[in-house]
Amino acid sequence: AKVEADAKKNKEEGDKYLAENAKKEGVQVTESGLQYEVLSEGDGKKPVATDKVTVHYKGTLLDGSEFDSSYARNEPATFNLNQVIAGWTEGLQLMNTGAKYKFTIPAELAYGTRNLGKIPANSTLVFEVELLGIEDEAEEAAE
């Protein structure tokens, strides 16, 4: 029951935070509810959902506690854009290579009702993401 109560509380806090955050200058909201803020623009190309991307990122909960950071590991992360949470798949396609964005991701575009230890159920997540590079799957296949 505590888990359910926490999940409900997290959802309410997340919705409240998202409503406030959406009013901030520079914050844009997509149709799905993803919020993003451009911290710095890039001038490279934008990835598509099937690309493999290399990023530096930091993920925090609304209270500011960090649950993951490639900066802390001193090593960028590389992954297929269609194999991550929906908020990332959508958000990173808005970015040009070299850009740094801040994403505020509603639980339903993140891990939803799953409780992942460091990330409680229904958590709204905040990520700072720097898009370092794109590997085009088609180019790799051609080599």
Angle at 25 between CA 29 and CA 71, to 5 degrees: 75
How many Å apart are CA 9 and CA 96, to the nearest integer? 36
Question: Comparing C-alpha atoms, which of 14, 25, 20, 16 is closest to residue 109?
Answer: 14
Catalytic residue from among 6, 15, 17, 85: 85
**67 catalytic residue (yes or no):** yes
Catalytic residue from among 6, 15, 17, 68: 68
Catalytic residue from among 57, 103, 105, 119: 57
Catalytic residue from among 36, 101, 103, 111: 111
**85 catalytic residue (yes or no):** yes
**111 catalytic residue (yes or no):** yes
Contacts of 42 (CB under 8 A, 6+ apart): 95, 96, 97, 98, 99, 100, 131
Catalytic residue from among 36, 101, 103, 127: 127
Catalytic positions are: 57, 67-68, 85, 111, 127
